[in-house]
Structures are given as structure tokens and as C-alpha cells.
Structure 1
Amino acid sequence: MEATKRKKALGLFLLVVVVSAATNLTTNYFAGKHQKDGFDRELQYPTAYAKFSDVKSGLETDFTLAAELTVHSVVHVKTQSKAKMAFSQDPFFEFFFGRPQYNQEPPVVEGSGSGVIISNDGYIVTNNHVIEGSSKIEVTLNDKRTFEAKVIGADPNTDLALLKIDAENLPIIPFGNSDSLKVGEWVLAVGNPFNLNSTVTAGIVSAKARNINIINSKMRIESFIQTDAAVNPGNSGGALVNTRGELVGINTAIASQTGSFAGYAFAIPVSIVKKVVSDLRQYGVVQRAVLGVEIADITAQLAKEKDLKTLEGAYVANVNAGSAAEKAGIKEGDVIVNVNGVAVKSVSELQEQIGRYRPGDKISITVIRKNNELKFNNVELKNSQGSASIVSSDKVDVQQLLGATFKELNNKLKKDLDLDYGVQITSLTKGKLMQQGVKVGYIILKINNQTIRSVDDIQSAVTAALNSEDKVLFIAGVYPNGRITYYAINLEE
């Protein structure tokens, strides 16, 4: 009986072996046939995959060195400003009942962000939105030392600001090359989210040259690095570094419906940061080069309408009269595809490339015109005023232009009006302010949304306006009697 069972089991086993062998032979036959005649025959893998033929799976990535190199150079930026008390501005109400009196002190609003030390003697780069409107800025280093910071300059068009603290021998993060970043490359975000000092998170570069329309300016430059490294409130102004510990971006924004990290963050590439910081330090105002074209990204619909054979580049919708582009020979309908040997595939990439240069710089531009490639050499860029000269803040005579003299507020007036800053008009002559009805004693608080603490701030705001397209000053201020008044000054008239 036992012998019979063993024979049946052995027979079943042999049957399974035979069937498996037959199945394997049949599968190999048809697989080989399909490889010769089917889908696999048409697949062509990129030659770059050959680089990974000998790479072991699960290659270990170590971020400890990059973190150690950078964490001591990222600072905590704390700001203070006073909340504005809301009260009636109805002139009839005030005529009959008087201006409401408030005895209580307005609450102090505190904000925080991050900054990156870029020089041993205390220059720090951060976001403009971190320090905008603040009356006091305090910087805390990673070793817990605290300094009061001074604003050297700010650029709302790129959302960058340059601070200075009185310190020496500070650790810095060297500038890297954001152009060489590749999608999929590891990066670290270093900052102070939720007031937590020295926080490091890791992620990859998800995309480059992103335009997300968060900067409210006609001359904005948005060409963000997108990453999935966790960035939260307080990270703004912090460092985005590569695995070598080099600065490749300044963390600026997150894509979120809740205000906290939800998967994607955006950083200003260091190629833009270097230019803006250098200009603010050297000239006190950013030198913005202008090509003088109206441009658009190329969509499938636009390509069909204009009979374009490419979807990459920046389409020239209009060329401004007297501009650098017109002088060079660029025409409406051209597609700009290259600047100084660097390919541009979108409007944001073109803006980033032009934003690296100053008025007077000469560059080469390649365009596609009627499916033919044309190259224009020695294209001399201009400023927004149509000149190729560098504009320095000390070249603008603000007193003569506006027809006024100014002084900073004394402590008594600050206390009486409950102000932290402002510049008062002490005298007026025939000029733009008098033409708009401004009176002596008026206290300027903001110009074009830039906080005015000193006469130098007025100088900077006017110079920036002269270099903008609109050339208009939107002034917010208050008279000594408490009446808040706004003026618009056209600098071109």
C-alpha cells in the first residue's frame, strides 16, 4: 500500500516537472519571437542609462556634511511692527464729534523668517516680505548671539532684501551654481520653521524656472526652483543648498491651501540672488536691464495661430520703440531661444537670463524667424528710461525733483502720533509735491509700499520708481493733526 502511494507521488512530481519544462520552452520561444518581431524591437533606451549599468541598487546618500557646513550660516530673523488702530476717517463725523481718542498702545506684531550669511563681516540675504514694514529687525545666529540688523536695500521685484549686522568672522555659505542643478538632484532646505532654530530637511529638485505669479510687480522676475523639501512658515529667506553645501537658492514660498507645507516649495535661484545682492551693496538700488519686448509663452494654440514650428522659447508679441531689441533688429513674431549661449525655453527663463545683466551690458540673442535661426550679437541692454547708463541712488536729486526738504521724526512727534518711523516735509518749493497739494508738515510713511524711515529711504524709493515702467510714486502718510492722506506723483510729467 505504501509502495503504491510512493509511486503515485513520484508520478505526479514527474508530471509537474514535464509540464513546467514544456511551459518554459514555449514561453521562451514566443518571447524570443516577440523580441524580434514585436514591441520591444521598437524601444530605444537613452544612452545615459549605460552610466548606471554597474551602479549598485540602494546607493546610500549622506547629507551630514552639507548640513554641518551650512547650518551655522543660516540665521533666525525676527521682526517687530505695530498694528494699525482702525478708526473712522469720516470728515463730517470728525467735524461734529472730534477725532476719536485712544489711550491704549497698539499691539506689537511680531514676525519671523530666516536669512543666510553671505559675507564674514555680516551681510545677510533674506526675503523682502520677511522684513517689509518692520520697525525693528533682530538677527539670532546659530550660536545664540543676537544682533540688531540694518536694511541695506530691498527689491520687491525679486522679493529679496539685504541686511547688515555689526559682526566679524562669521561663517558663510559659498555661492553654488543654480544653472547646473538637475531635476531629481538632492537638495537641503535650511531654516527656522515655526521659530525652531537650525532645521534641515531634504528633498529633490522637482522642476526649474517656475513662474507662480506671487510677486505683485510689473517688472517681477519669477524663475523659481521647485523642490519637495519640507518648507514651512519661518523658512522664508533660508537656504536651499546642494549636497556639497553650496547655496543654490533662497527659500521663498510654498504651494499650500493651509499655509503649511503641502508637498512643494519654491526658491529663488542663486543666479538671481548674486546679481540683486551685488547691486544693492554697490549702488543702493537694483540695476534692471531691459530688452524692450512684450513676450509670451508658446502654447499649442499660439503655435497654431502663428504657424510656429516650435513650442520652446519666448514669443515676441511686441517690440517697444527705441528699445534695445528694436535697435538690434528683433521683430514682432520672433521666438527668442537663446541668450549668450544659454537656451531659453520659456518666458521665465528669458527673464532670469536678462535679469543677470545691467544696463550697458552687451549680449547675444538667438531667435527663430519664419523657421530660420538668426543670431544678433552685441545687443546693448538699456534701463527702463531708455538709457544704457548705470543709475546710482546718489545721482537723483530728490529735493530738487520733488521740491521739498525733509527731516526724520523726533521722538516727541513719534509719541504724539504713535508712530515708529516716518519722514516729515519741512519746506516746499515749486515742484511735484506742491503741484499735488501736499502741505508742509506732511509725514511720509510709505512710498510704493516701501517703508520710509529716513531721507535715504526716500532717495531709494524715488530712484527705484524712476527705473520702473510706471514712474509713479504712491505716497501714504499722515499730517500732524492725525489726518491720513494719500498722494500719487507722476514723475514723468
Structure 2
Amino acid sequence: MASSRTLAVGMALALALGLSAGTVSAAPALHVDDAPPSGVTQQRLALKRASDAVLGLLSTATEDASSIDTLGEQRSGSGVVIGNDGLVLTIGYLILEAEDVELVLDSGKRMPARVVAYDLASGFGLVQALVPLGVEPVQFGQAQAVAEGEPLLVVSGGDEGALSAAQLVSRRSYSGYWEYHIDGALFTSPPRTDHSGAGLFNARGELIGIGSLLVPDAQSNGPRRAGNMFVPVDLLSPIFTELREHGLSRASMRAWLGVNCVEQDDGLRVLRVSRDSPAETAGVQPGDLIRRLDGTPVGGLESFYKMLWNGGSAERDIALEVLRDGHTQTVPVHSVDRMRTFTRARGI
């Protein structure tokens, strides 16, 4: 398995020399024994260490996990070693309500791990190996310092682990239809289907993002271009202590309704209502057009979420004005703290 994720010298050279992702595949193939050009050795070693620090991650959700409906019981992806104590950074949905977690080394060996944190607000997850990994942790870069068009490296782990070059095609706020929002999300292209928890690295081998989504349009302007969304590591530093001590950040304890929506010119169209959610209890229906929250126009997803999260306590009475079958009506909803709805992962 290890040979499938060997860092090719040609790719390392292309990244180090600042070639665009579109030209990486044309980089000259070199043999491992070939001496690299002067000044490239350190970058090559840094990229090799970065690649080695990305592991596979397997998890099994608890039997009664509500997230099984959307994420399934068995989940697989990647994680990146960030601490000498075996701490691994991943995307949170892989370990949400997890009963068992294993890390998969390049050799294929599986190592037991425990969940340290699941952070709803950022999307990050932390797990810790229960036995020594013998893997050197990565260095962190600054996602905000990466320029659009800059060549990057995407690395996944596990039995099918792979690496490829990519470009940063845009950086912008991202609002997910499932009541999720982050600032400064990184969008790369070409797309990878094994993006969940994958590491995004700059040419110095520094971690700048954790893979979250496959998106149909990674560019903010111009022709549509499929790609991936990565959560920037810049979001981790301000909440790292909270995650280690409490298993989540304060920002994760926020109001939740349980609606999946898309933006329309005159409001937010409800596509789906989560099972046993406050919205379902209140009678919100797919097809409803949400126009106001507590009397204030909702605007887009971002403004709707911020009104919901910042408008009071996580658990409170909220009035939604919806348009249904041509008639406007007010639907009272009692929001809940989203984190209270999850089965606590084993280890937290």
C-alpha cells in the first residue's frame, strides 16, 4: 500500500518551483536515486513528511446515532497527525457519534483511537491514538496567506490513500444547507472524491486545510469548475484549547431547527426537514418558503444562520414566517441546542 502514496520527485519539484497544478502532470519523471536540483531537497523532504502524516480513519457510529440517516453507520476517510501524543485532526462528520475509531497506517496496520472532540461550528474533529503511532506530526501553515492559483498538494490516507496536485481557485465564506457556515473556506480544483479528512498542504509541506466536501462549482467567478472545499486550519488555533478540554467550542452550543434550505430571491426554500427535529415538531414542511425569522427578513443562508445563532439562547421560542401554498403563515418553533441532540461519542 505504501508505494501507492510515494511522493514522486517530479511532483515535489513541480510544487517547489511554483508550477501551476495544470502543469504538474507534465513534470519530468525522475528516479528516486537521481540527485534533485540544488535548493529542492528540503522542500521534497517536507512534502514527504507531510504525506507520511496523513493516515486512514475508520469509524463506526453508535446504534442509536441520529447521524446514521445521512452519514451511515460505517464511515471512512483520512486524518492528519498534528501532535507528538498521537493527536489527529480530521473532518468532524467522520467521527460524529462514533463508538469505535481506528487509524490506518501506510503499512495497513490499524491502530485504536478515541474521540477527543467534535466541533459543530468549525467542522473539525480530533481523535487520539491509544498506542504510539511513530509518525512525525505536520507543521501548520497559514491558509489566509495562500494566493489563488497557488499550487497545493492534497493527500488522503488508508488503503486507497493517494496524493495529487491542486490549485486554490477561490477563498470565501461557505454556507451549507444543513445549518452550517464558516468563513474563509478554501476551494480547490481538480476535485478529489476521497476528500473526507484529507490534508491540504502548501509547497513547504505545511498543513493549511482539512477536506470536507466535493462541490460542483469551486470558483467564485467564471465558468463552473468542480472541486473540493477544505476547512482552513486558521480556524483551529482560537478553539484548540476548548476542543482539548471540553470536546467542543462554545460556538458549537447554538440554536438548531433541523431544516435543509436553498436560497431563492424571496427567501429560503425548505428542501428537507430532519427527523425528530424542532422544525418537524412545529410542522414546517418541505416546499415551505421561509421569509422572516422573528419578524426580520432572512436574506440568504448566512444571514439566516447568524440571526438564529446570535439572536438569543440556543433553546428558545422562534417565529418563522413561511409562504405555503400561496398563503403566508407564522410557525412557532422551539429551537434546541444542536449538540444535545447527538449521542456522545465514546471517549469524549
Give distance in 1, aligned partners of 2:339 and 2:234. Answer: 29
Structure 2 segments unaligned to the other structure (5+ residues):
1-17, 29-39, 65-71, 218-224, 254-301, 314-337
* CA apart distance, 1:130: 0.9
Query: Does the aligned pair in 1 maintain the 2:187–2:229 contact within 8 Å?
Result: yes
Give distance in 2, aligned partners of 1:77 and 1:70. Answer: 16
Query: Does the aligned pair in 2 maintain the 1:121–1:170 contact within 8 Å?
Result: no
Identity of aligned residues (%): 21
Letter in structure 2 aligned against 1:132: L
Deviations 1:287-319, CA, capped at 9 Å, x for gaps:
4499xxxxxxxxxxxxxxxxxxxxxxxxxxxxx
**CA, structure 1 residues 453+112, in 2 after alignment: closer, same or farther (shift >3 Å)?**
closer
Partner of residue 138, structure 2: 173
Query: Does the aligned pair in 1 maintain the 2:58–2:77 contact within 8 Å?
Result: yes
- Tell me, yes or no, if structure 1 residue 266 matches structure 2 residue 226: no
Give distance in 2, aligned partners of 1:143 and 1:254. Answer: 28
1:171-250 correspondence runs (5 A): 171-192=136-157, 196-217=159-180, 220-232=181-193, 234-250=194-210
Give distance in 1, aligned partners of 2:164 and 2:311. Answer: 40
Give distance in 2, aligned partners of 1:187 and 1:208. Answer: 14
Partner of residue 78, structure 2: 114
TM-score by length of 1: 0.40
Partner of residue 286, structure 1: 249
TM-score by length of 2: 0.55
CA RMSD after TM alignment: 4.6
Structure 1 segments unaligned to the other structure (5+ residues):
1-54, 85-107, 291-346, 352-381, 386-445, 458-493
SS in 1 for 2:140: coil
Partner of residue 71, structure 1: 51
Give distance in 1, aligned partners of 2:142 and 2:339. Answer: 35
* CA apart distance, 1:68: 1.1
Query: Does the aligned pair in 2 maintain the 1:113–1:238 contact within 8 Å?
Result: yes
SS in 2 for 1:142: coil
Letter in structure 1 aligned against 2:85: D
SS in 2 for 1:69: helix
* CA apart distance, 1:159: 1.4
Query: Does the aligned pair in 1 maintain the 2:119–2:247 contact within 8 Å?
Result: no
Give distance in 1, aligned partners of 2:82 and 2:188. Answer: 22
Give distance in 1, aligned partners of 2:131 and 2:168. Answer: 34
Deviations 1:354-390, CA, capped at 9 Å, x for gaps:
xxxxxxxxxxxxxxxxxxxxxxxxxxxx9977xxxxx
Partner of residue 258, structure 2: none
Give distance in 2, aligned partners of 1:154 and 1:229. Answer: 28
* CA apart distance, 1:197: 3.6
Aligned with residue 130 of structure 1, among 66, 70, 94 = 94
Give distance in 1, aligned partners of 2:61 and 2:252. Answer: 34
- Tell me, yes or no, if structure 1 residue 451 matches structure 2 residue 343: yes
Q: Which has the higher strand share?
A: 2
Query: Does the aligned pair in 2 maintain the 1:71–1:198 contact within 8 Å?
Result: no
Letter in structure 2 aligned against 1:182: A
The count of corresponding residues between Structure 1 and Structure 2 is 234
* CA apart distance, 1:230: 3.2
Give distance in 1, aligned partners of 2:19 and 2:118. Answer: 48
